[in-house]
Amino acid sequence: MSASAAFESTCTQLEQVTSFDSLSARGTVRLALKSAGLDAREVTTAQMIVVLKRVLPAELKVRGVKNAEEVCSVIASRIVADGATSSSQPRDSVEEVFRRLGGS
């Protein structure tokens, strides 16, 4: 199971900004994504930014992170600056894939 660049970048940044280890960071971000109805394999940078602003702060507060909103804001700005946007473009729709395969 391969996770999106936005997910990987968010987890890495969360480890750097908090005392979370890799497993804790990944689990916390996955729970936030699940609450938002998103999947770590397909989440885009734009979607992750929304999760960072609206969902992840509450998850971090539950886990004892002080200034959770500020932490999430820092992570969001780093993700945008890192250029995760270019590697997490929305995937083609099913129809677009079949259209290319069918040659029409």
- Give the chain's domain count: 1
Phi (first) and psi of residue 8, to 5 degrees: -60, -45
**Is residue 52 over pLDDT 80?**
yes
Look up the domain containing 74 and give its range. Answer: 5-102
Residue 34: alpha-carbon gap to chain centroid? 11
Q: Residue 42 carries which DSSP code?
A: T
pLDDT at position 88 is 45
The residue behind tokens 């395969």 is 101
Ranges 10-24, 48-62, 88-102: which has the least confidence: 88-102
Ranges 4-13, 51-60, 86-95: which has the least confidence: 86-95
Residues 21-50, buried b or exposed e (16+ Cβ, 10 A)? eeeebbebbbebbeebebebeebbbebbbe
pLDDT at position 100 is 66
Higher pLDDT, 24 or 86: 24
Give which of 67, 51, 73, 60 is closest to 7, Cα–Cα: 51
Predicted TM-score (pTM) of this structure: 0.78
| Average pLDDT of span 16-44 | 96
